[in-house]
Amino acid sequence: MTSSKLLVSRIERWPIAGRFTISRGTKTQAVTVMAEVSQGGLIGRGECVPYPRYGETPEATLATLQSMQAPLSRGLDRRALQTAMPPGAARNALDCALLDLEAKTAGQRVWNLLGRAAPEPCTTAYTISLASPEAMAAATERVAHRPLLKIKLGGQGDGARIAAVRKAAPQSQLIVDANEAWTSDTLEQNLKGCADAGVTLVEQPLPAGQDELLARIRRPLPVCADESVHDSASLPGLRDRYDAVNIKLDKAGGLTEAMAMADAAQALGFQIMIGCMVATSLSMAPAMLLTRQARFVDLDGPLLLARDRDGGLRYDHNMVYPPEAALWG
């Protein structure tokens, strides 16, 4: 007789190296929630980052996870999980933990279990936090050797910021992330400034739900949805506004939905970015399965921490490597 699954979850805090600033504020630590599902002497792990932007807190996420012990004891599996919980951070942690457990139980790597291509080493973006143009230029200059940089902008003065960053990194490909901070009055001017600076992609310039202007203007460079896109169901309504979508496991509610979402986004003609929150390698590892479908990979979360968890992903110069089985999958 198969033993029932036991769930253990907890909140973890990981100091950030310095400060991480976007248009919504600054933080000095990453607060993650870990889920561990054990069965038959094996343990599957998953990590999530509750996001206040979507009304999530670590404490509420932990409570939601703890409430899933009874369904797991009754035989809830990963497929049933997709309807038993809504998309979001809690389901992400549990979905990834169940996938890790499935792989360990089968004695296979998770991509073989799922019938997906094995992930390969790939270039990841590196994020420059929002600050004054001078401070952002100085931070950029230190990493100007990296081929792909993601620049956090925040509203007033963004033209000067992006110009300063471009001067500091003349050879790097630049992604700009406004985190919903632009307005209908500044949108076209800021997009032009980005185009003039040779920016490759602009992420979420307008607030989600207030982005209809993107369908009515000529976009001088590709625009990517982040806060406006969550799961597969949100994709069709974005086709006239965005050229790309940022898939994050914490938004989608796990790798299971994120894989379906990536397939659907490709079918609709979107370019794909694989993104992350500031978190440890345990959050990044499942997202590596999506990188072969991605035009842009932004999995630099552990690089922004003062320290990663033991056995984390290998980052070598600009490259991130697939996880070892001991970490995940």
195-240 per-position pLDDT tens digit: 999 999 999 999 999 999 999 999 999 999 999 999 999 999 999 9
**Is 326 a domain residue?**
no
Which pLDDT belongs to residue 302? 97
Q: Which long-range contacts (CB under 8 A, 24 or more apart) does 108-111 make?
A: 109/325, 109/329, 110/286, 110/289, 110/328, 110/329, 111/289, 111/329
Residues 313 and 265 in one domain: yes
**Is 11 a domain residue?**
yes
| pLDDT at residue 23 is higher than 70 | no
Residues 101 and 130 in one domain: no
| pLDDT at residue 1 is higher than 60 | no
Residues 151 and 10 in one domain: no
For the segment 36-50, what is each residue's pLDDT rounded down to a tens digit?
Answer: 999 999 999 999 999
Residues 299 and 269 in one domain: yes
Provide the residue range defining the domain that includes 66.
Answer: 6-114
Based on the residue annotation, tell me whether 150 is a catalytic residue of this protein. no
Give the CATH number of the domain where residue 16 resides.
Answer: 3.30.390.10
Which pLDDT belongs to residue 328? 98
Is-contact 199 162, C-beta < 8 A?
yes
Residues 14 and 48 in one domain: yes
Q: What percent of the chain has pLDDT over 90?
A: 93
Q: Is 218 helix (H, G, I), strand (E, B) or coil?
A: coil
Domain termination residue (choose one: 114, 147, 169): 114
Which pLDDT belongs to residue 27? 86
Is-contact 12 36, C-beta < 8 A?
no
| pLDDT at residue 2 is higher than 70 | no
| pLDDT at residue 300 is higher than 90 | yes
Domain termination residue (choose one: 60, 94, 114): 114
Based on the residue annotation, tell me whether 5 is a catalytic residue of this protein. no
- Average pLDDT (137-166) is 94
Q: Copy the structure tokens of residue 201.
A: 């992609």
Residues 283 and 155 in one domain: yes
Residues 86 and 126 in one domain: no
Q: Select which of 5, 104, 150, 248 is catalytic.
A: 248
Q: What percent of the chain has pLDDT over 70?
A: 99
Rounded Cα distance between 127 and 246, Å, is 15
Residues 68 and 164 in one domain: no
Give the CATH number of the domain where residue 147 resides.
Answer: 3.20.20.120
- Average pLDDT (7-34) is 90
Residues 6+ apart with CB under 8 A from 165: 128, 133, 136, 137, 140, 149, 151, 174, 197
pLDDT band at 168 (very low <50, low <70, confident <90, very high): very high
**Is 325 a domain residue?**
no
Residues 27 and 86 in one domain: yes
Residues 148 and 275 in one domain: yes
Is-contact 35 93, C-beta < 8 A?
yes
| pLDDT at residue 25 is higher than 90 | no
Q: Select which of 5, 104, 150, 152 is catalytic.
A: 152
For the segment 123-133, what is each residue's pLDDT rounded down to a tens digit?
Answer: 999 999 999 99
Domain termination residue (choose one: 81, 114, 147): 114
Q: How many independent structural domains does the chain possess?
A: 2
Residues 194 and 268 in one domain: yes
- Average pLDDT (171-179) is 96
Q: pTM for the complete prediction?
A: 0.94
**Is 199 a domain residue?**
yes
Q: 224 — phi, psi (to 5°)?
A: -115, 135
pLDDT band at 19 (very low <50, low <70, confident <90, very high): confident
